[in-house]
Amino acid sequence: ARLAVLISGGGSNLAALMEACEDPAYGANVVLVVADRDGCGGVEIAKDVGIDTAVLKVSDYAERNEWDRALAARLSEAQPDLVVSAGFLKMLGSATLAAFPGRIINTHNSLLPAFPGIHGPADALAYGVKIAGATLFIVDDGMDTGQILAQCAVPVLDGDTEETLLERIKVAERAQLVQTVGAMVRDGWRISGRRAILNSPAD
């Protein structure tokens, strides 16, 4: 399966996926990495091993819709089976969503529907929850609202700062992303109303 990965940051989730893809049994390859800004470490990681990369900045386009159409076009060229948003900090527009219906997934660092948005771990800490985690879901036109494919939990410890909690979440989040994407490309998945269901290998 062909994976396109969208990033805005360091790309540790991307790096974990790339490492998994080194094993042919994993069944996937990263064919394109798109960033929405300069200076994303993940773009360099991908370039180093010859993966196609692109930087598409909203500010380079007169309108947000034009950026969205350019993103949809660039992604379509790569013919991905799955688009993985891994720390991508822009909402996708209608052109991109329409180009890959039900095939764009995002990893978020909270247990949705609690703490959507870009400050998930800080919000969880401020609220005082005892369990935090990460959610992998199918992207729709809302913010962190799509059907949930997988969730993993980590404890919030008494001495936690935003940094220590985020790091604990990210370790679990990367493992979840790698495992779930592997299962999705090998066995497929289906949607039933609000529920996203991973097919079992026997299906």
Window contacting ligand GRF (CB under 6 A); options: 3-11, 138-146, 155-163, 181-189: 3-11
Is 90 one of the binding residues for ligand GRF (CB under 6 A)? no
Q: How far is the CB of 193 from ligand GRF (least distance, A)?
A: 25
User: Cβ distance 25 to 104 under 8 Å?
Assistant: no
According to the annotation, is 106 in a ligand binding site? yes
Other Cβ atoms closer than 10 A to 126:
11
Window contacting ligand GRF (CB under 6 A); options: 8-16, 54-62, 94-102, 183-191: 8-16
What does the alpha-carbon distance between residue 101 and residue 99 come to, in Å, rounded to a whole number?
A: 6
Among 107, 147, 176, 180, indicate the residue that binds ligand GRF (CB under 6 A): 107
The smaller minimum CB distance to ligand GRF, of residues 100 and 137, is found at: 137
The smaller minimum CB distance to ligand GRF, of residues 110 and 147, is found at: 110
What does the alpha-carbon distance between residue 156 and residue 179 come to, in Å, rounded to a whole number?
A: 23
Among 4, 5, 11, 137, indicate the residue that binds ligand GRF (CB under 6 A): 11
Report residue 176 as tokens: 């979840």
- Catalytic, 108? Answer yes
What does the alpha-carbon distance between residue 165 and residue 181 come to, in Å, rounded to a whole number?
A: 24
Read off φ and ψ for residue 143, nearest 5 degrees: -95, 110
Closest residue by Cα to residue 4 from 37, 42, 38: 42
Strands (DSSP E) found in 59-156: 82-86, 104-108, 131-138, 148-155
Active site positions, annotated: 108
Task: Indicate the annotated binding residues for (6R)-10-formyltetrahydrofolate.
Answer: 64, 106
For ligand GRF, the binding residues (CB under 6 A) are 7, 9-14, 86-87, 107-109, 170, 173
Task: Indicate the annotated binding residues.
Answer: 11-13, 64, 106
